[in-house]
């Protein structure tokens, strides 16, 4: 059975972006995460490494090679069964097939991303019709979070040079990938560290690997906070001290290596919206 991750998740993400734009001005990137994600670096590591990047960068893993998704996701028209039957036996129903669009090029990729404030404003304010047009198109699409933002950014020429083809996650997939990735365990710890990624998924609730990440990567004690430059008071981290002081851990060095491989590499522009 295919899980219908349709427009609701995209709408919720856009709603969160709109709230962030309305209530807060001092931010540069929007990071979407789920309850199945877990950090592999500290907050200070993130702040320290991202401070050296251009603020317009968008980390969106993508490809225009739809493969099996063209026939199984892009072409089926998803219909709410409540529109034509009295009892809803399924989450959704598949209607007639539709042709692939010619007005824009479809892209697909990871549903997890880091978006710049400028691109978020473009999606929310919509000073041209592209974000709204694509939102309507993806309202009848299976797993729209894996295509909406990719298609918007790669069909907006002003944002193509800002795209980094990476979702900033370590995820273990089958080959070829199935609908859901592997659940990570202690056996995946070495691969997670070697990926240099700041986040990983999916994890089971209270899996022992989370304790290993806390101890060895985050320096977090059980039932405590992840330490950083903000820690003040006695006992340590009992109050917020200097919020502008950063104390990056070795996780910052791993993240810098990742940026060196993808952002500062010679192939950076070659991986944009291909």
Question: Higher model confidence: residue 7 or residue 69?
Answer: 69
Q: Is residue 229 part of a domain?
A: yes
Kindly provide the residue ranges of all beta strands, DSSP E only, lying in 40-192, ordered along the sequence: 58-59, 62-63, 76-79, 93-97, 108-109, 114-116, 163-164, 169-170
On the question of pLDDT at 1 being above 50, the answer is no
Mean pLDDT value across residues 259-268: 94
Q: For residue range 113-144, list pLDDT tens digits in order.
A: 999 999 999 999 877 899 999 998 888 777 88
CA-to-CA distance for 199 and 196, rounded, in angstroms?
9
- Asked whether residue 225 is domain-assigned, the answer is yes
Percentage of the chain lying above the pLDDT 90 cut: 64
The pLDDT of residue 4 is 38
233 found inside a domain: yes
The dihedrals phi and psi of 183, each to the nearest 5 degrees, come to -75, 130
pLDDT for position 57: 98
Instruction: Convert the pLDDT of each residue in 56-102 to its tens digit.
Output: 999 999 999 977 676 666 666 666 555 445 444 454 555 567 777 88
pLDDT given at position 70: 61
Q: Is residue 2 part of a domain?
A: no
Question: Per the domain annotation, does 139 fall within a domain?
Answer: yes
Whether residue 242 is contained in a domain is answered as yes
Domain extent at residue 57:
7-271
**How many structural domains does the chain have?**
1
Residue 177 confidence (pLDDT): 64
- At 2 the pLDDT is 34
CA 171 to chain centre: 12
What pLDDT sits at residue 79? 60
In-domain check, residue 168: yes
Percent of the chain residues topping a pLDDT of 70: 85
pLDDT tens, position by position, 169-222: 999 987 666 667 889 999 999 999 999 999 999 999 999 999 999 999 999 988
pLDDT computed for residue 138 by the predictor: 87
């Amino acid at each position: 059975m295919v899980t219908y991750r349709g427009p609701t998740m995209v709408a919720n993400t856009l709603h969160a972006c709109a709230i962030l734009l309305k209530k807060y001005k001092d931010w540069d990137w929007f990071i979407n995460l789920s309850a199945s994600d877990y950090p592999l670096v500290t907050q200070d590591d993130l702040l320290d490494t991202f401070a050296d990047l251009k603020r317009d960068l968008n980390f969106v893993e993508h490809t225009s090679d739809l493969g099996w998704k063209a026939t199984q996701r892009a072409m089926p028209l998803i219909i709410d069964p409540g529109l034509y039957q009295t009892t809803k036996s399924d989450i959704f129903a598949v209607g007639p097939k539709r042709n692939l669009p010619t007005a824009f090029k479809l892209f697909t990729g990871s549903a997890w991303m880091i978006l710049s404030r400028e691109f978020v404003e473009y999606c929310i304010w919509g000073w041209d019709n592209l974000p709204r047009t694509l939102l309507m198109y993806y309202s009848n699409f299976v797993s729209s979070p894996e295509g909406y933002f990719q298609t918007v950014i790669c069909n907006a020429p002003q944002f193509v040079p800002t795209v980094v083809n990476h979702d900033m996650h370590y995820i273990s997939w089958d080959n070829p990938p199935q609908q859901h990735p592997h659940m990570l365990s202690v056996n995946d710890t070495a691969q997670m560290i070697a990926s240099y990624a700041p986040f990983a998924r999916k994890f089971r609730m209270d899996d022992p690997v989370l304790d290993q990440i806390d101890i060895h990567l985050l320096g977090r004690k059980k039932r405590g906070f992840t330490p950083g430059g903000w820690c003040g008071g006695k006992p340590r981290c009992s109050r917020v001290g200097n919020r502008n002081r950063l104390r990056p851990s070795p996780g910052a060095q791993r993240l810098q290596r990742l940026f060196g491989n993808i952002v500062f590499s010679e192939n950076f522009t070659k991986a944009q919206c291909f």
